């Protein structure tokens, strides 16, 4: 790795180490906190290593027309801001990133916010935002000569890791909570050749076990405690800024599980701000499922100062996490940008997901918390109609088709979860009906369909 340009700084005690000195669990040996990648050369205003904002914007635009493979990656197109490798020849890429930003016409109208967009990270090669982080961390693992990589996962991390490991010719180990991840994701890990262990515990249990395993075996840990993951996951912030011609939106809203993604997006915007690529940072808000809401509870209790782990329960299995590793980093992002942390109910998630689907933008339940959260923020008056808002949709709808089918069949939510939302739900439900193979029967089904 390029030790000249980057170092790791402990988020807790501020200790600085070289990348190669990190412990296998990526925790500080002095205080136990997580590390962040830092680029000391960027601090000197006129230093030779500080990237120049204007030149970067030009270079990144030029790369869109390039024929080089590395330039086709929406992560490595921005490689000047993630100089973590000794050689970019070690990049393992599936052409991740470059995901679409869609205007949300219907939701914008319903909420009275004209400028409402979705950054659809589910359009990545394995169907989730994890690919942007995995290309970065897996490339580091490959460059360091690891044979094995591993992660604990609620499904998407394992799918991404398995795919990138397969591309790099590395072996991968996946620990997942038994029976608590969506089939689409499990099938991916199997298909990409990972050794997949379903453990009789939850995600938090899987991660703490893996943390011990990597201390005993030469396995490179690829959960988002690995700071190189976040270097890749910060690049959607660059894409968002670029899409708005470097006038950042007022507000970016993302789901919160283990809280690596919100931390990474915040780091991306912060670095752009410090390097003069953008003039201000957007507010960044994090939305959790009510049954897996330790950070939302923390903000309600003491504004993000302490975290009490919870036993997590939600059908949005991607974010079924009760003891998020990166909560301190995420709390800093929310506080420094003036964003919020809220939770939303199972019913609110299901309705928001169906509303996005009805706009042609299918996503995972975990992604839909963003729209559900925005509705709450608008209702509280925290988001104004004049603001530009971007929802980060983190996963593809096909990851969890069972959830969608159950919603439309009316078997997803129980009565108490659907309470107060019955009207919205019945308007959105489109169950597949069994119909005689005649013209009249098919045309008869069109009658009474709500707008």
Name the site residues for ligand F0G (rule: CB under 6 A).
Answer: 128, 130, 153-157, 224, 255-261, 318-319, 364, 366-367, 394-395
CB 316 within 8 A of CB 325: no
* CB nearer ligand F0G, residue 155 or residue 347: 155
* CB nearer ligand F0G, residue 27 or residue 399: 399
* CB nearer ligand F0G, residue 323 or residue 345: 323
| Strand (E) or helix (H) holding 404 | helix 401-409
Q: What is the dihedral of CA 317, 318, 324, 328, to 10 degrees?
A: -140
| Orientation angle between helical segments 183-191 and 156-168, nearest 10 degrees | 10
* CB nearer ligand F0G, residue 165 or residue 318: 318
Q: How far is the first Cα of the chain from the last one, in angstroms, to the nearest whole number?
A: 56
CB of 225 to ligand F0G, least distance (A): 11
* CB nearer ligand F0G, residue 5 or residue 318: 318
CB of 367 to ligand F0G, least distance (A): 6
* CB nearer ligand F0G, residue 139 or residue 223: 223
Q: Tally DSSP H helices, then E strands, for the chain.
A: 17, 13
Q: Residue written as tokens 């659907």? A: 418
Cβ neighbour number for residue 312 with a 10 Å cutoff: 25
CB 351 within 8 A of CB 420: no
* CB nearer ligand F0G, residue 27 or residue 56: 27
Q: Residue written as tokens 């782990």? A: 309
Q: What is the 8-class DSSP label of residue 431? A: P
Q: Three-state SS string across 68-107, please?
A: CHHHHCCCHHHHHHCCCCCCHHHCCCCCCCCCCEEECHHH
CB of 256 to ligand F0G, least distance (A): 5
CB of 224 to ligand F0G, least distance (A): 6
Where does 217-292 have alpha helices with state H? 227-233, 235-243, 260-274
Residues 270, 282: Cα–Cα separation, whole Å: 10
CB of 438 to ligand F0G, least distance (A): 42
CB 157 within 8 A of CB 187: no
Residues 49, 377: Cα–Cα separation, whole Å: 41
CB of 441 to ligand F0G, least distance (A): 39
* CB nearer ligand F0G, residue 177 or residue 347: 177
CB of 301 to ligand F0G, least distance (A): 20
Token pair recorded at residue 183: 């089939």
Q: Which residues pair with 3 in a beta bridge?
A: none
* CB nearer ligand F0G, residue 143 or residue 400: 400
Which residues, other chains included, contact 60 with Cβ-Cβ below 8 Å and sequence gap of 6+?
A: 77, 78, 238, 242
Q: Residue written as tokens 């499904």? A: 155
CB of 257 to ligand F0G, least distance (A): 3
Residues 171, 302: Cα–Cα separation, whole Å: 43
CB of 366 to ligand F0G, least distance (A): 4
Q: Is the dihedral of CA 147, 152, 158, 164 positive or negative?
A: negative
CB of 6 to ligand F0G, least distance (A): 21
* CB nearer ligand F0G, residue 186 or residue 318: 318
């Amino acid at each position: 790795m390029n030790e000249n340009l980057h170092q790791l700084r402990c988020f807790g005690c501020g200790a600085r180490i070289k990348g190669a000195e990190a412990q296998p669990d990526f925790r500080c040996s002095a205080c136990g906190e997580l590390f962040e990648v830092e680029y000391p050369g960027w601090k000197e205003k006129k230093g030779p290593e500080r990237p120049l904002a204007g030149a970067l914007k030009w270079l990144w635009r030029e790369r869109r027309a390039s024929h080089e493979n590395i330039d086709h990656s929406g992560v490595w197109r921005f490689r000047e801001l993630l100089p973590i490798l000794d050689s970019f020849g070690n990049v393992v890429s599936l052409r991740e990133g470059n995901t679409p930003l869609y205007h949300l016409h219907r939701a914008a109208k319903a909420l009275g916010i004209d400028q409402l967009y979705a950054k659809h990270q589910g359009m990545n090669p394995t169907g989730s935002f994890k690919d942007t982080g995995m290309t970065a961390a897996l490339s580091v693992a490959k460059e360091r000569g690891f044979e094995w990589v591993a992660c604990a996962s609620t499904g998407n991390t394992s799918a991404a890791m398995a795919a990138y490991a397969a591309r790099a010719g590395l072996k991968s180990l996946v620990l997942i909570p038994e029976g608590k991840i969506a089939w689409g994701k499990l099938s991916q890990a199997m298909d990409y050749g990972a050794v997949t262990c379903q453990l009789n515990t939850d995600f938090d249990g899987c991660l703490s076990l893996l943390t011990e395993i990597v201390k005993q075996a030469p396995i490179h840990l690829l959960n988002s405690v690995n700071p190189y993951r976040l270097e890749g996951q910060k690049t959607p912030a660059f894409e968002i800024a670029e899409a708005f011609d470097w006038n950042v939106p007022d507000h970016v809203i993302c789901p919160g599980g283990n809280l690596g993604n919100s931390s990474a997006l915040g780091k991306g915007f912060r670095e752009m701000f410090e390097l003069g690529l953008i003039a201000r940072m957007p507010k960044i808000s994090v939305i959790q499922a009510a049954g897996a809401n330790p950070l939302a509870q923390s903000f309600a209790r003491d504004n993000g100062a302490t975290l009490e782990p919870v036993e997590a329960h939600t059908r949005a299995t991607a974010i079924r996490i009760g003891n998020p590793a990166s909560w301190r980093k995420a709390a800093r992002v929310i506080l420094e940008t003036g964003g919020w942390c809220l939770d939303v109910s199972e019913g609110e998630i299901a309705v928001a997901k169906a509303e996005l689907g009805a706009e042609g933008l299918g996503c995972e339940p975990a992604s839909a918390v963003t729209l559900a959260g925005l509705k709450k923020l608008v209702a509280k008056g925290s988001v104004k109609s004049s603001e530009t808002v971007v929802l980060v949709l983190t996963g593809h709808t096909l990851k969890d088709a069972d959830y969608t089918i159950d919603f439309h069949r009316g078997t997803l939510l129980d009565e108490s979860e659907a309470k107060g939302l019955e009207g919205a739900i019945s308007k959105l439900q489109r169950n597949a009906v069994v119909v005689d193979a005649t013209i009249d029967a098919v045309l008869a089904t069109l009658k009474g369909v709500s707008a």
